[in-house]
Chain A
Amino acid sequence: MPLELVLNVAVGGVLTGLVYGLMALGLSVIFGVMRVVNFAHGEMMTIAMYAAVIAFAQWQLDPFLMLLPVAGGLFLFGYALQAGLINPFIARPEHSQFILLVAVAIIMVNGLLMAFGPNARNVLVPYALDSFEFGPLLVDKVRLYAAVASLGLAAALFVFFRGTRTGKAIRAAADNHTGALVVGLNVQRLYALTFGLGSACVGAAGCLMALLIDVTPTLGPVYTLLGFVIVIVGGLGSMAGALLGGVLIGLSEALAGLFLVPSAKSMVSFALLILVLLIRPHGLLGRST
């Protein structure tokens, strides 16, 4: 196997993995703070992808320009969803939350099917088929830009949680719910804010994914599952873990496609998941409880 081929495939896998990581980051943030598993995560990403596709089709707006507006829209949607629908379920058993969010996901998929039909849609920006050449490496331009944007957004989120009062308050509410109430934090508002931030993350990831893959209404469940695999591998609730998990899954899929049978590459992600669960049940960077 030529080294040049392995390098090209590995770089492609890492770049895709970073976008996966941003998508999973939203899931991890929501779970880390609220202990709610968002089973509609992939579907929310699909909505963001459609927003990017429509903006491009109607007004030729590049998905990179749509990152902030779409993330903002998803933030509002997530905030409203949490405040209006999910909040009453926070204290209920996990299976109630599960059924609620699965129902939301099904409504989203079918709503998208009714609105856009089943055909795949894509964004073909003028540089969509361009590549950068670095010696023997041929790097897909769109994939590189998307990976850099993912890293930037993840860093911004990290700074928000570490460096702002609201971010610290959210972390405090996540660490000690009762303590947060005692010191007078508005935990319900913080939860809605967190769900909004997680949704914004997945909204931004959706804009970037629209540049990499075609969107169909039924894409959501696949990416919800992929999001779970990534955050479980990286560690549920860990932001750095989500990025690491994304890169590992992206890389393992790419290399498995190269060294094994390409049609079985997603099998390797699940094998990796089982391996991590056996060795480190709380994930690579997750905290044991």
Chain B
Amino acid sequence: MTGRPAKPQSNRGFALTRRAFAAGAVGLAAAASLPRARAQTLAPLKIGVLLPKTGVQAFFGQSCQRGADIAPALLAELGYAVKIELMNADTETSVDTARARAEKLINDGANVLIGPFDSGAATAIAQVAEQRGVPFVINIAAAPQITEQGYKFVFRNFPTSGMLITNGLTLMKDMFKATGTTPKTAVFMHVNDTFGQANRNAVEALFPRFDMPFRILDTISYDPAARDLSVEVAKAKATQAELLMVTTRINDAILLIREMVKQRWEPMGVMSPGSPGMYEEQFFTSLGKNSDFMVSNVPWFNPRSEVASLVTAAFKKQFPNDRMIGHIFNVGFTFEAVLTAADAYQRAKSTDGKALAEALRATKIAKRVMIGGPIAFDAKGQNVEIGAAALQNRNGEPKVVLPAEAAEAAPVFPMPGWTKRG
């Protein structure tokens, strides 16, 4: 080894420059302020997500869950500084289980509850939320009574049955006008649960006021867990009605159409004035070409919304094997429920139930996923600014056919017969 020995490296570390001094000062200041910053950091908001992930509504519950699952990452992308923690629970499509799970989630520390897709379950959870002073943001449930009880902790970003049917009947008339074909008679078939009953009541109350161009010849209710609708369809067919109006879930919607094909019943159309079932992924995969031309007049995803695009991208990333179009309704409303809770928390800066409820009451979220005005709640906790679109199934997916300004395809009515579908 030759030459001068190298200068010890450690000596260089002690060379104090102005830049190093400044950096050190900033570091010290940051370190000094650290405890204070920690005190200001909000704890994650614990959101109890109640959904029917088993039982007859399992498809819906699992579909909605996807909307909650994409939320934590997406909220950060949307600029929300607060963190959320999801506490998932299965209502098992049972009102009693929904009540028990709501209690348990609150006991386990949930600050807000969201869910539960079903009106019966929502009614039960609302009672628990109100008693325990924990805010409850409803994603999907239409029975009007839920927000008519004077509850202070219940908020619903979903139309009531009255709103659904009002929009649904209006869109029906628009459809007849647009296609130049009007049926003279109809038969109404509905699932016999809280939601179905609420829709039936709304139809009976609103039908005379809307001066509808057809008469309802018969109203037929059926068991929500029905596994065979042959008798019900035979009865409906015997009325010789030109239009079938339905309030369905998913399994019953599939059974209904299958039975119509078997019994060779071909009315002019099958229209839902506001219910799930006929635009869901399972409907298309189960029925193939027979799923086409059904019409659902429902609140829907806004394809022109920036947030909706982000939701779609997040969904594709997290669930690459699923078609977003078959989950869009459930994902959209469930994501909005989480968004609403997180937005309120960001403003309330507290997990206290009363503070969160106050913040929820002052909600105004303009950038939303679904069609309609901003997410905001009236004195009853109801969002009254939710729009609707007429969807018609075409080539295995729902397309907006009305209103005309948002239409992706022209409406077809009457629908082609079962044997004339290629």
Contact = CB atoms under 8 A, between A and B. Distances in A.
Contact of A140 (B58, B230, B232): B230
B221 A262 contact: yes
A129 B256 CA distance: 12
Given A119-B59, A129-B258, A261 B221 contact: yes
Given A131-B264, A138-B264, A118 B231 contact: no
B234 A214 contact: no
B235 A5 contact: yes
Interface residues of A, number: 37
A222 B225 CA distance: 10
A117 B222 CA distance: 25
B231 A12 contact: yes
Contact of B228 (A16, A129, A130, A138): A16
A258 B55 contact: no
Contact of A119 (B231, B262, B282, B290): B282
Contacts of A138: 263-264
A266 B226 CA distance: 10
Interface string B214-246: 000000111101111011101100100000000
A119 B281 CA distance: 12
A212 interface: yes
Given A2-B238, A257-B235, A263-B192, A140 B282 contact: no
A258 B235 contact: yes
Given A12-B230, A131-B264, A214-B227, A120 B251 contact: yes
A113 B54 contact: yes
A175 B221 CA distance: 48
Interface residues of B, number: 34
Contacts of A16: 228
B244 to A, nearest CB: 15
B286 interface: yes
Contact of A8 (B58, B226, B234, B290): B234
B254 interface: yes
Contact of B222 (A124, A140, A263): A263
B261 interface: yes
B263 A262 contact: no
B280 to A, nearest CB: 11
A262 B222 contact: yes
A230 to B, nearest CB: 16
A217 B418 CA distance: 31
A120 B282 CA distance: 9
A118 B60 CA distance: 11
Interface string A111-134: 001000111101010001111000
B62 interface: yes
Interface string A266-284: 1000000000000000000
B284 to A, nearest CB: 13
B53 interface: yes
B227 A131 contact: no
Interface string A83-126: 00000000000000000000000000000010001111010100
Interface in A198-217: 212-214, 216
Most buried by B among A122, A130, A254, A262: A262
16 contacts: A9-B231, A12-B231, A118-B62, A119-B58, A119-B62, A124-B286, A129-B258, A129-B262, A131-B263, A140-B230, A214-B251, A216-B56, A257-B232, A257-B235, A262-B232, A263-B223
Given A257-B232, A257-B235, 11 more contacts: A8-B234, A9-B235, A12-B230, A13-B231, A118-B55, A118-B62, A119-B59, A218-B54, A257-B231, A262-B223, A263-B222
Q: Which 6 residue pairs across A and B have the least CB separation, nearest first?
A: A118-B58, A257-B231, A263-B192, A213-B227, A129-B261, A118-B54
